[in-house]
Amino acid sequence: MRERLPRLLIATRNRDKLEEIRSILGDSSQDFVSLLDFPELEEIVESGATLEENAFIKARTAFEKTGIPSIGDDTGLEVDVLGGRPGVYSSRYAGEKATYSQNVDKLLREMEGVPARKRRARFRCVAAVAGPGFEKSVDGVCEGIILETRRGDGGFGYDPVFFVSETGRTFAEMSLADKNAISHRGRAFRAMAELVKKLSI
């Protein structure tokens, strides 16, 4: 029988994100825990200017507080016509306590009247791991366009308006398995899983 590997901590309390990550890494023998298992820890402030900085802030802080090798990630939606916004502010685009719906509403208001050919965007995810004597990061990108109205009931965040041309569907119209197969987070965390194996965590 294969020896069980040490634990990894996924540095998030976002249940939607955690569900996706666990689905992506589900065939791993790692014993994953998350910040939900450490309610006593203070919220980690994402003060970085880039996705990579925020990913490392979360990974380093979680490792320092728990002693468990930790993976942090940050994701941004980059819209060309908006100069790359909302980017690092994607989760709080409409305010610090904004809901998914409020963020989407703001995005659609800002893009009102923009023709389809100029609605190109991409999701970018950077995942970082920090542990005893090592720090590494990987990233994943998925290209798409922003629709004028929402489509689909699945997913979370900007998924109902992020349309992936080669599939003919928004993320919100895909099953979790289909989304993970092509998504920015799926690509980043599959690369992270390979990195973790090489690091022998």
Active site residues: 74
- If you search the block for the tokens 């990195």, which residue do you land on? 195
d(CA 22, CA 28): 9
Q: How many CB atoms lie within 10 A of CB 108?
A: 17
Q: Where are the alpha helices (DSSP H) in 99-183?
A: 100-110, 176-182
- Kind of pairing between the strands at 7-10 and 134-146: unpaired
**Residue 144, CA distances (Å) to 63, 93, 114, 119, 200 in order:** 34, 19, 15, 9, 35
